[in-house]
Each structure stands twice: as C-alpha cells, then as structure tokens.
C-alpha cells in the first residue's frame, strides 16, 4: 500500500464548531520542571523581563545552550514550559527559540500537518512533531493569530493536554479529538500522526521504521544524549540484526536491544555504477518478490436509490511493465486479469466492467491517468515509478531527510528490478537510492527517465553492512 507521506493538507467544513477567539488559543501555564538546572530556569524567567535588552540576551543564551548536546534536553524542557507563560512576549519568545533549535537528529519523520477552514469558521492550522525521546509537540494557529505551542513528554500526555484545552474552549469530542495512538479527528476529517508504539525504542532514545520484511529497521531519529547516539547510530542507518539475530517486530527489537552487545548495521555510501548497454526489456516470469508494487485489495461501493454497485479489486505492477489483478464486480466470482503492458491490462479490466454495465465515469481513467473506480482513484500511474528499458520500479523519496540518508533526499528508492534487465546488469539492487545519472540530479521522475535513457553511469546511495560493538 502507499507509504505515509511527509505532510497532510486537507480542507473541511466545521459547521458545528464554536468560534474561540485567537487570543484564547493557548495552553494553561506550566512551571519549569524542578529537574532543570537553575541557570536555565533563570533564563526562562528573564524572557519576561521589563528590559528588552535583558530579554534579548536571555533568548540568545538559551539558543546557545540549546545547541550544546549536553544541555539541549534541559533547555528544551524549560522552553516547553516557557511557551505556556502568562506573559505573551515571553510565551512567543520561548516558542520561537524552541522551533529554531536544530533538533533534526531527534525529530521523527513524517508527523503530519493539516489546515481546515470553511462555513464561517476561520482557518485552523495544526502541525505535529514527535521526537526520539518520546516527547511530542503540536503547533496551533487559528484565524491568522499567533502560533501557539502545545508540548508534552509523550504523545499520550499531549493528547490529554490538547483534548482538555479543546473542551475548555467549547469543542466537543465530535468536533475535535486527539487519541494517544496518534489518530486525530477534526469535524468530518480523520487522519493520524505516527503511533510511537510502532516506532519508538525509549531506552535507546531511538525512532525506527521497519523496512521491507527481513530487511531490518531504518533509523529515522535519535537524540544526542541517548544510547543510540553513544553506540554510533546515525539517521539513515539500517539495523540489520542485534547480536546476530534479525528482529521481525518492534517488540522483539526493543527486547533484544535491552541487552545488546553487538549490532549489524547497514550504512550508506555514494556509489557510481557503470550503466550496462541498452537491451530489450525482459518479459520473463519473475518471483513475486521481484514485483514492482502491489496495491492491496480494496472494495468500493456506490448506491443510487435501491441499486448498489460493488467492486473488489487488487493491482500488481511488475518492473518489466506487466500488470495483474483480481477483480470481482457486484458480488460476482473473482477473476484474474493480466496484461503484458499497463494499456493491455487496462483494456481487459475495463472490458470486464463494461460487460457488467459500468460506464467510463464509473470505471475508467481519470484526467491524471489513474484508474478511477466508483469515484475512488486506485493505484499509481506506472509513469510515476517505472523506468522503461531498465526493468526498474522506483519510489520517489521526500525532499526532506527522513528515514533515508541525508544525501538521498529527493532521490528514488529501488523497489523492484527484474532478472535479465538493464538495471540488474548495471548492478542496481533493491534498496538502493538512486540520485541521478551521469553526475546530474534530476528534479522529477520524467527527468530521471530521460537522463537514464542513454546514461553511461548511475549514482546511487547504498547501505553496506558492518558490525558495531556497543560500549
């Protein structure tokens, strides 16, 4: 199924919501934790000083201390409290310093954001951030007012805090709710930020994501003061095994890391491959693991009066251009439909739909070239993923570093390549991160396809395994 995207932008109508004034959109004041050193606590107090110069000096010192890995955690805890201060200038200053601190190493990727407006309600924008120590933050801006910061030591605590504030301002559960597992709802829109239970290794201050089955765990973030940092793990590394054992589930990974002595880690390096000569695309049968992309089974229903339409379908894309589907229409038997190309497959599945009385609008391509089934856009366009002539299927990477090595941001991950094709002959491997061809970095899939058409070299980021002995 499609991967989680870095951001989420939606618009909706919130007709039932009350309209709190922007000045009321801020959390209740919280004191600086007693565990924070006194010098840092004093700097937070100075953000509310009468003398503008004193406030500026305090902000500058907090910024400096926050850049020190040894002091950053204390400064962050203090700033989170300062961002709830009664004094509006102190509150704004603490929030702004916190946003400017370089926490990229500990920031979990793809936490999401949303903008909502309509039907008399002013625009509300929210943005989530989660970190490798388990802490979580949410920015909220209503009606063009100030950006207010909500922060907590866990997503569950953040949910309690935000929901309490929402109820205090007159929003019911049907209007706004944030769940401890990251699912949230505002009016008719539901979405989610990642669930820490699926990613977080608290004792290591480490945030991971499972790679393809059996391929290890991507390191998405780690703090600068935890065991992951001390062990030498970097963002973009892949944990392949712990004490020689692969870990299939997050619980198993946590358990083995608790007493780990050695890690097997894949680490990235830039590799230049000599492109193989052009050759015909291989159309030989391939094992399922060589398939480019599988769009899992989905069911779409539509009712007009007493007539219900129902389509159940799966879509399987191969790196050599072949397509396969299982298709059931209106409760009929499931049939396998295949084609040597996308166009051949499309002609066959639409013919099956026409036999059941489905129109082009109900079952056909939309303006963007995607299959549209009863109003649902299903599956990707092959042109966004396949490199013709290479037997190669790619997935675009976000331009912002996430679970991937920094140098690969904006590149393409190799998800599939067929035996006998040019990609395999060149030496490309599943999991490689393609940067470009002949030393140039294309800005789009179309540019990459054109660059690889007559390429002499291909540049990729590749992870190589090695052992890390823990201290």
310 or 70, which is more confident?
A: 310
How far apart are the C-alpha atoms of 265 and 8, rounded to whole Å? 32
**Phi, psi (5° rounding) for residue 268?**
-85, 145
pTM of this prediction? Answer: 0.68
Q: Enter the CATH code of domain 198-267.
A: 2.30.42.10
Q: Answer for the pair 254, 201: CB distance below 8 angstroms, yes or no.
A: yes
For residue 146, pLDDT over 90 is answered with: no
Q: Highest mean pLDDT: which of 220-229, 352-361, 416-425?
A: 352-361
How far apart are the C-alpha atoms of 431 and 240, rounded to whole Å? 13
How far apart are the C-alpha atoms of 82 and 12, rounded to whole Å? 33
In this predicted model, what pLDDT tens digit does every residue of 103-121 receive, in sequence order? 888 889 878 777 766 444 5
Residue 8: per-residue pLDDT? 31
Instruction: State CA 299 to chain mean position distance.
Output: 25
pLDDT bracket for residue 409 (50, 70, 90): confident
What value does the mean pLDDT of the chain take? 83
Q: What is the mean pLDDT of residues 298-324?
A: 87
For residue 234, pLDDT over 80 is answered with: yes
CA distances from 94 to 84, 147, 228 (A): 9, 12, 28
Residue 368: per-residue pLDDT? 77
Q: What is the mean pLDDT of residues 194-200?
A: 94
Q: Answer for the pair 271, 429: CB distance below 8 angstroms, yes or no.
A: no
Task: With both helix axes pointing from N to C terminus, report the angle between 72-82 and 88-100 in degrees, rounded to the nearest 10.
Answer: 150
CATH 2.30.42.10 residue window(s) in the chain:
198-267
Q: What is the mean pLDDT of residues 175-204?
A: 87
Residue 69: per-residue pLDDT? 80
pLDDT bracket for residue 60 (50, 70, 90): very high
Closest CA to 408 of 379, 436, 445: 436
Q: What is the mean pLDDT of residues 321-337?
A: 93
Residue 468: per-residue pLDDT? 61
279 or 350, which is more confident?
A: 350
Instruction: State CA 66 to chain mean position distance.
Output: 26
Q: Answer for the pair 386, 393: CB distance below 8 angstroms, yes or no.
A: yes
Q: What is the mean pLDDT of residues 261-283?
A: 82
Residue 27: per-residue pLDDT? 61
Cβ neighbours around 439 below 10 Å, total: 12
Q: Answer for the pair 205, 46: CB distance below 8 angstroms, yes or no.
A: no
For residue 337, pLDDT over 90 is answered with: yes
pLDDT bracket for residue 383 (50, 70, 90): confident
Residue 62: per-residue pLDDT? 95
How far apart are the C-alpha atoms of 32 and 74, rounded to whole Å? 10
For residue 20, pLDDT over 60 is answered with: no
In the structure encoding, which two tokens stand for residue 280, read together? 């015909």
Residue 45: per-residue pLDDT? 94
Radius of gyration in angstroms for the set of CA atoms belonging to the chain, rounded to a whole number: 26
Residue 380: per-residue pLDDT? 83
How far apart are the C-alpha atoms of 103 and 193, rounded to whole Å? 18
């Amino acid at each position: 199924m499609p991967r989680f995207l870095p951001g989420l932008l939606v618009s909706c109508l919130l007709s039932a919501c009350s309209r709190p004034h922007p000045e009321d959109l801020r959390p209740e004041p919280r004191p600086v934790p007693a565990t924070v050193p006194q010098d840092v606590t004093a700097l937070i107090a100075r953000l509310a000083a009468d003398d503008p110069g004193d406030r500026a000096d305090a902000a500058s010192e907090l910024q400096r201390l926050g850049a020190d890995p040894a002091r950053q955690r204390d400064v962050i805890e203090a700033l989170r409290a300062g961002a709830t201060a009664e004094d509006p200038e102190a509150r704004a200053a603490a929030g702004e310093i916190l946003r400017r601190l370089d926490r990229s190493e500990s920031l979990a990727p793809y936490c999401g954001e949303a903008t909502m407006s309509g039907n008399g309600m002013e625009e509300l924008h929210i943005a989530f951030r989660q970190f490798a120590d388990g802490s979580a933050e949410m920015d909220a801006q209503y009606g063009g007012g100030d950006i207010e910061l909500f922060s907590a030591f866990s997503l569950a605590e953040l949910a309690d805090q935000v929901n309490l504030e929402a109820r205090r301002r007159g929003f019911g559960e049907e209007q706004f709710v944030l769940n401890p597992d990251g699912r949230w709802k505002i009016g008719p829109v539901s979405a989610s930020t990642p669930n820490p239970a699926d990613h977080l290794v608290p004792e290591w201050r480490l945030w991971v994501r499972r790679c393809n089955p059996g391929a290890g765990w991507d390191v998405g973030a780690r703090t600068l003061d935890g065991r992951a940092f001390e062990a030498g793990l970097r963002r973009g590394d892949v944990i392949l095994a712990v004490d020689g054992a692969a870990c299939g589930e997050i619980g198993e990974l946590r358990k083995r890391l608790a007493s780990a002595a050695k890690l097997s880690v894949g680490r990235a390096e830039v590799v230049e491959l000599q492109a193989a000569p052009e050759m015909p695309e291989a159309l030989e049968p391939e094992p399922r693991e060589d398939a480019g992309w599988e769009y899992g089974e989905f069911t779409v229903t539509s009712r007009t009066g007493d007539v219900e339409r129902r389509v159940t379908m799966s879509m399987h894309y191969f790196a050599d251009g072949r397509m396969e589907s299982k298709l059931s229409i209106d409760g009929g038997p499931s049939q396998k439909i295949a084609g040597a190309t996308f166009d051949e497959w499309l002609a066959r599945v639409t013919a099956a739909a026409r036999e059941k009385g489905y129109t082009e609008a109900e079952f056909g391509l939309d303006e963007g070239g995607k299959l549209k089934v009863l109003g649902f856009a299903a599956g990707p366009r092959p042109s966004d993923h396949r490199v013709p002539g290479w037997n190669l299927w790619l997935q675009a990477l976000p331009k912002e570093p996430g679970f991937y090595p920094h140098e690969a941001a904006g590149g393409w991950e190799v998800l599939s390549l067929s035996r006998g094709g040019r990609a395999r002959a060149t030496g490309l491997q599943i999991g490689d991160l393609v940067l470009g061809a002949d030393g140039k970095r294309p800005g789009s899939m179309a540019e990459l396809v054109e660059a690889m058409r007559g390429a002499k070299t291909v540049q990729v980021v590749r992870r190589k395994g090695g052992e890390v002995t823990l201290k």
